[in-house]
Structure 1
């Protein structure tokens, strides 16, 4: 299995990036498996949904070249992993813009003549890893955990048919929490090949 790990954090030395690298190492610890990293900030991906993106959605224009490149990168992977910091109880704008632009009609989903939705990403298992600077009690008490799962798991990937094999919030408010997040990142990576194989 080859996975694509996508991150969106402006700091190369962030915990988000460190957890992504631990996930990559965990996947690679399983013989025959590996992962590549797509660091959207470092790569300069433009998250703005432009007139060209809208024209593609309306079937009045071609898919922009940078979007096609991202779709090809995803098509070359057997699993997608999103690792992101939680900003205002959601994913960062850069990552959301990547989804807005890349998960296009005709590639991620389509509309049937009867008005129903055709889910086109059943081939793409997804692992979600959000990093937050609060404790689990805060997330549960305010309903943030369930709200984010509804928005991301169902609203995005469920709509496209991509099976979510795991969704975790790695919450840290001290150094011990950060170290635990790194260990959990490696464990999630090591477990991912088996989780993906179980879907086959």
Structure 2
């Protein structure tokens, strides 16, 4: 099995990066035969702006831009997708949202048949979401942010493409033992990705 971990944070020394590394270590500890690739969108200079070339591809007037074809190939190799990100304005950072906008494209991630029914094309891809944020759980619950994020991200993006969200974890600054405990949790997430019953 092969896992692609996508990170969206501009600082390589961030907690987000440390969490992603621990998830990868947890996967490796659970099964040395599993392979892991880390895609650091900021370090790679991914352009999140939806361009005229992206629109032409969406409208099936042109092939995928080369950088999008590259991302499709990375995802085609993956059995699992783990997205590790900081919560910005109760959603993804702009860089990660732009990656979704450009990469989870019409014709590759989903398409409509002649009757207008959506064909979900990513049913083979298991998704795990790992978000970290500064708010406490009480605030998230009071304002319904968890439900909103689940609706927008889990259902609005991944279910639309057929990719099942197997786990969605929020690591918060108010959690006991922050931030060290988050690294332990991230390691456990990696192990559970490979061995869900452990």
The TM-score normalised by the length of structure 1 is 0.95
**Number of aligned positions between the proteins:** 196
The list of structure 1 runs, each at least 4 consecutive aligned residues, that deviate by more than 3 angstroms after superposition, is: none
Partner of 2:73: 72
Partner of 1:25: 25
How do 1:47-196 and structure 2 match up within 5 A? Answer: 47-173=48-174, 176-195=177-196
1-structure distance, mates of 2:109, 2:175: 39
Deviation at 1:173, TM superposition (A): 4.0
Give me the CA root mean square deviation: 1.4
Asked if the contact 1:23–1:185 (Cα under 8 Å) also holds between the matched residues in 2, the reply is yes
Asked if the contact 2:126–2:165 (Cα under 8 Å) also holds between the matched residues in 1, the reply is yes
1-structure distance, mates of 2:47, 2:153: 21
Partner of 1:43: 44
SS of the residue 2:182 aligns to: helix
Deviation at 1:34, TM superposition (A): 2.8
* Runs of 5+ unmatched residues, structure 2: none
2-structure distance, mates of 1:176, 1:7: 23
The TM-score normalised by the length of structure 2 is 0.96
Deviation at 1:193, TM superposition (A): 1.4
Q: Can you list the C-alpha shifts for 1:56-103, whole angstroms capped at 9, x where unaligned?
A: 111111110000000100111110000000001111000000000001
Deviation at 1:36, TM superposition (A): 1.2
Deviation at 1:33, TM superposition (A): 1.6
1-structure distance, mates of 2:154, 2:131: 12
Q: Can you list the C-alpha shifts for 1:12-61, whole angstroms capped at 9, x where unaligned?
A: 01000000000000000022223111000000000100000001111111
Residues 173 and 65 of structure 1, relative CA distance in 2, 3 Å threshold: same
SS of the residue 1:113 aligns to: coil
Asked if the contact 2:16–2:84 (Cα under 8 Å) also holds between the matched residues in 1, the reply is yes
